[in-house]
Amino acid sequence: MCSLLFFISFFLFFSFPYFFCWGGLSYFFGCDLISYGLIFLSLWICVLMVLASESVFRFYYFPGFFLFVIIFLVSMLYCTFSSVSLLSFYVFFESSLIPTLFLILGWGYQPERVQAGIYLLFYTLLASLPLLVGILFVYNHLCSLCLFLLYGASLPSGGLFYVCMIFAFLVSMPMFMVHLWLPSAHVEAPVSGSMILAGVLLSLGGYGLVRVFPLLFKFGFTFSFVWVSLSLVGGFFVSLFCLRQTDLKSLIAYSSVAHMGMVIGGLMTFGYWGVCSSYVLMIAHGLCSSGLFCLSNISYERFGSRSLLVNSGLINLMPSMAMWWFLLSACNMAAPPSLNLLGEIGLLSSLVSWSWSLMFVLILLSFFSAAYTLYMYSYSQHGSVYSGLYTCSLGYVREFLLLFLHWFPLNIIVLSVDVAVFCV
């Protein structure tokens, strides 16, 4: 299955001719550069999910059903990103939650996974019901739901319609104050569930915002300062909260909320560079956070704990793995030449040009982003080794390949990122 998905990924990469416009159009499906990049990311992450879940196959923990869930998930994501109808986009957007819920409930580690699954289900489903009402409102007034026909359309819209259309995507990203479902889902999910949540499902919200923005320009400009302020200040508070985390997966999950705060801020400026840089950072975050969750799972398989108090002194036990901790931590705090750096520089420029008053918040957000990443790296790699563990494997070839396939595209795509400038 891994070989088949890799083949499909490279086939897409070398055969996609529609870089600057909609291509392969039908009534329900089509593709442009924005959707193409996220489809490629979905296929890539799903391949790595299978590679990371070796224990499912080693212990025969329903491997057939596990592969079926992943295939169903990647199919739903493909249909979501290639939908050109708002209604079909909504259906596939909600359908992608079903296999994610199965991954959490079926292969999670703790009994609390049921509560985490309920959090995920209710937060996302309840927030998406207003989106369905907004889609029906659009069809009632324009008699069409095709995205490429709705650009520039005038709607007798109001503030309620604006909130209905964007709230589901803000919860999905998630934005500060509606983010509580994400840490619990990450902590209780298996490594495959955490990888797809951090890698692709958070980007679904940003993709949805980009698609509905042409309908919302009037009220978008009016209320954008509210969302920009809330997302950036919320990202700062979440960064502070990361500094007091002792659970490794929880720390990485909260760092995702902080990064998505910058993405929301860039999107809500409605600027060309803001949207392009947000798209770049979504791709970079998908690879970087997924790799960090793989590293935390590698430690969990050896120590049986996610606590930083237990996962300390890893550089003494697994020196080769410490190198990958350093490389992915450097990418997480936007060190060159990673794709994260390019996305964050673009977002900083876009947000500061939108309002100079945001500079102080952005300085704090960038500083504490580096602070909690260094906190995670120093606590996990240095210090005394857990006395309950005498020896462990230094790392398998499968694990090194898995981490390389996260890190390599994260630092190579930056060489051809000029294509992303033309994506919007």
Domain boundaries, the chain: 127-422
Average pLDDT, the chain: 86
> Span 210-239, mean pLDDT?
87
> What pLDDT shows up at residue 420?
56
What are the tens digits of pLDDT across the range 370-389? 999 999 999 999 988 877 76
Phi/psi at 31 (5° precision): -150, 135
In contact, 406 and 288? CB cutoff 8 Å? yes
How far does Cα 315 stand from its chain's mean position? 28
32-80 pLDDT, tens digit per residue, is 888 888 998 999 999 999 999 988 998 888 999 999 999 999 999 999 9
157 band by pLDDT with thresholds 50, 70 and 90: low
Q: What is the band of 19 on the pLDDT scale with cuts at 50, 70, 90?
A: very low
Question: If DSSP states are collapsed to H, E and C, what string results for 23-69?
Answer: ECCCCCECECHHHHHHHHHHHHHHHHHHHHCHHHHHCCCCHHHHHHH
How is residue 398 written in tokens?
């499968």
Among all chains, which residue has been given the structure tokens 């309908």? 215
- In this structure, the dihedral spanned by the alpha carbons of residues 203, 41, 327 and 371, taken in order and rounded to 10 degrees, is 0
- Angle (CA) 125-247-181 rounded to 5° is 10
Q: Which of 46, 87, 7 is nearest to 286 (CA)?
A: 46
| Peptide bond preceding 336 in cis form (omega within 30 of 0) | no
Q: Residue 12: pLDDT band by 50, 70, 90 thresholds?
A: low
Find residue 247's DSSP bridge partners.
Answer: 307
Alpha helices in 82-216, H assignment, sequence order: 86-95, 97-107, 113-142, 147-150, 159-172, 181-188, 191-196, 202-212
Q: Are 172 and 205 in contact, with CB atoms under 8 Å apart?
A: yes
Whether residue 235 is predicted with pLDDT greater than 80 in this model: the reply is yes
Task: Return all residues near 5 (Cβ < 8 A) that are at least 6 apart.
Answer: 43, 46, 47, 50, 74
Residue 394's pLDDT band (boundaries 50, 70, 90)? confident
Three-class SS of residue 269? coil
pTM, rounded to two decimals: 0.91
Radius of gyration of the chain (CA): 21
d(CA 194, CA 296): 11
